[in-house]
Amino acid sequence: MRRTLLAALALVLAAPIASAQIDSATVTGGRIAGTVADGVGVFKGIPFAAAPVAGLRWKAPQPVPSWEGVRRADSYGPACMQAANMLKLMGAGPAVGEDCLYLNVWTAAKSSAERRPVMVWIYGGGFAAGMTGIQAYDGEQFAKDGVVLVSVGYRVGPFGFLAHPTLTREGGGTSGNYGLQDMIAGLRWVQQNIARFGGDPARVTVFGESAGGIAVSLLTAAPAARGLFARAISESGGAFGPTREGAVAGGLLPTLEGAERFGQQFLKRLGASDLASARALSAQQIQAGLPADALAGGFWPNRDGKILPGDQYHRYEAGRFNDTPVLIGTNSDEGGLFAAPGVTPAKFEAQVRAGYGDRADEVLRAYPHDTDARAERAAKDLFRDTTFGWSTWAWASLESGHGKHKAYIYYFDHRTPQSPEGSNHGSEIAFVFRNLTAPALGGAVMQPTAAEEKLSEQMQRYWVNFATRGDPNGPGLPAWPAYDAQTQQAMILRDSPAAGSLPNQPQLHALDDYFRWRRDGAAH
């Protein structure tokens, strides 16, 4: 009887410990306290680097200063400096500033002894905008599905990507890639600290969308990111095209020299005679020097030979990249967000001839444009394929051909009465995060159907399976074949997901010939 009572007492005493969530942790810098809700520990606004202000503006991220006592981690840090209209468009709070290098953690682990897969989210926004603190990026559902979810803030616009000859000398031969260095610093923080939240530092997946997906692509070729993640997911992003110069179609990243010239011109517009006077300006004065368009400005990562050493396509061909499994894809109508309306056959032909040089005729044949309606559709599809689709397809081909791991490619094609021509740019995010009722761009709120809820559950499960073991497949899910050059199969994500050929594959082949021509010309 006594033994039975003792056993029962032991169970009673153990119950609170077994059900407890992680609500505090000691991390780089000091002790933090988060919150717990519905079985998930949430830590917001954790500093992972020193505030890049004053003398640290336009410098690589520096170590985070220590703090005394317990720091509350219950609210998002400020968004990095950007246009106010972008904050409003994305439904973010008004807090914005240069002191913005904070990250957030969601975990359902019950102790630091657990080793759950980790996913690190990199937001999009054209490298001119973006933030972690919006409902669409809330990581609760990922945490409930067994992942430790981290989202990382990084500098954007001129604060994150201004290059200048003086900065290059200060930086030992590099400047203008501060936003990328912020991401790398965040990934280093994850390696050093995520075990305290029940995460496995050996199973880190970096994933992002649009500029965030492009950043993931760049991180796979950045020597400083080697060993910081074990898998990569890119949603509508890749950087395998030519250097950006003039009207060259598909050119995303400038050279360091080109970025320096652009930076010099920007400081001149600000009325800053040198770097010292530019650093003396307020953040608001610098932001005011940009165009009113939230995504304009032209500040992007650059091929500096150090953080980003050379053409990414050639580095993959030479096997000089951070080789991991990849899950990558595009949306069916994401060009609709960017292509200008009112395109006629004549306008479309003029645009193609201006950007595609000697391969313009082949590209024109691949995109029928004989009526105004077909020309407008062609302009949208060509933007989709040149900016997102081809890089994704090339990435899968390069990984499967030159890497040691598998590539999985998808095509998101969920159609609704609001988007009858296909899935818009960024529309997969709500499905991946299972935040279908989060406000979309402009504040629109979805009323999801049962079929949409099921598709969202399937997509998050694919992503979690991939983060867990480098393969999206699992029980109850339609089979997703790895990409190979012979079959070129992809997962078509719609109400009834199924493997098949990419619908835009003929167009991608035409663009592959164009990009090969560009690479051959760059080599001579």
pLDDT digits (tens, 9 = 90+) for 283-329: 999 999 998 776 667 899 999 999 999 899 999 999 999 999 999 99
DSSP for 336-392, please give it: GGTSPS---HHHHHHHHHHHHGGGHHHHHHHS--SSHHHHHHHHHHHHHIIIIIHHH
Instruction: Examine the pLDDT at 444 and tell me if it is beyond 90.
Output: no
The tens digit of pLDDT for each residue in 181-211 reads: 999 999 999 999 999 999 999 999 999 999 9
Average pLDDT over residues 116-127: 97
How far the first Cα of the chain sits from its last, in Å, is 89
**Closest alpha carbon to 352 in 252, 247, 253:** 247
For residue 144, pLDDT beyond 90 = yes
Give the model's pLDDT for residue 17: 40
Give all domains of the chain, ordered by start, each with its CATH number: 1-324 (3.40.50.1820), 331-435+444-524 (3.40.50.1820)
pLDDT, residue 524, reads 44
- 319-377 per-position pLDDT tens digit: 999 999 999 999 999 999 898 889 999 999 999 999 999 999 999 999 999 999 999 99
Please give the Cα distance from 388 to 236 (Å, whole number).
5
Give the pLDDT score at 347.
97
Query: Rounded CA gap, 122 and 186, in Å?
Result: 10
Question: What dihedral do alpha carbons 483, 487, 492, 496 form, nearest 10°?
Answer: -120
Report the pLDDT value the prediction gives residue 2, as an integer from 0 to 100.
45
- Phi, psi dihedrals of residue 458, rounded to the nearest 5°: -65, -45
Q: What is the pLDDT of residue 380?
A: 97
pLDDT of residue 414 exceeding 70, the answer is yes
Residue 47: pLDDT above 80?
yes
**Catalytic residue check, 114:** no
Across 209-218, average pLDDT: 98
The per-residue pLDDT of the chain, averaged, comes to 93
* Percent with pLDDT over 90 in the chain: 86
pLDDT in tens, 78-94: 999 999 888 888 888 77
**Is the entire prediction scored with pTM above 0.85?**
yes
Q: What pLDDT sits at residue 294? A: 60
Can you list the alpha helix ranges (DSSP code H) found in 97-230?
140-144, 157-161, 165-170, 178-193, 211-219
DSSP SS3 for 257: helix
Which of 332, 376, 425, 427 does the annotation list as catalytic? 425
d(CA 124, CA 101): 16
Average confidence (pLDDT) over 145-151: 98
The per-residue DSSP string of 303-343 comes to B-SSSS-S-HHHHHHTT-S----EEEEEETTGGGGTSPS--
464 pLDDT more than 60? yes
- Asked if residue 481 has pLDDT above 90, the reply is yes
pLDDT in the model for residue 90: 82
Catalytically annotated residue among 334, 376, 399, 428: 334
| 8 Å CB contact between 205 and 196 | no
Q: How many residues does the chain have?
A: 524
* Closest to 212 in 3D by CA, of 179, 254, 241: 179
The pLDDT value given to residue 339: 87
- Model confidence at 511, in pLDDT bands (50, 70, 90)? very high
Residue pair 21/138 in contact (Cβ under 8 Å)? The answer is no
What residues pair up with 40 in beta bridges, in sequence order?
37
pLDDT for the residue numbered 403: 96
Q: Residues 332, 123: contact at Cβ < 8 Å?
A: no
The stretch 70-79 carries a mean pLDDT of 97
DSSP state of 199: E
User: Does residue 140 have an active-site annotation?
Assistant: no
15-28 tens-digit pLDDT? 334 346 899 999 99
Provide the pLDDT confidence category of residue 31 given band limits of 50, 70 and 90.
Answer: very high
Query: Bridge partners of 37?
Result: 40
**Token digits for 490?**
């992809």
pLDDT at res. 522: 63
**Residue-level pLDDT at 88:** 84
Q: What is the pLDDT of residue 445?
A: 85
- 395 and 403 Cβ atoms separated by less than 8 Å: no
Q: Long-range CB contacts (< 8 A, 24+ apart) of 443-452?
A: 443/91, 451/495, 452/414, 452/495
What is the predicted pLDDT for the residue at 30? 98
Q: Which two tokens stand for residue 413?
A: 């094609």
Select from 296, 286, 338, 294 the least CA-distant residue to 85. Answer: 294
For residue 305, the tally of other CB atoms under 10 A from its CB is 12
Stretch (H or E) spanning 465? helix 450-469
Whether 170 sits among the annotated catalytic residues: the reply is: no
Phi, psi angles (nearest 5°) of residue 122: -115, 115
Mean of the pLDDT values across residues 382-388? Answer: 97
Catalytic residue among 151, 210, 400, 427: 210
Sequence-distant (≥ 6) Cβ neighbours of residue 471 within 8 angstroms: 325, 406, 408, 465
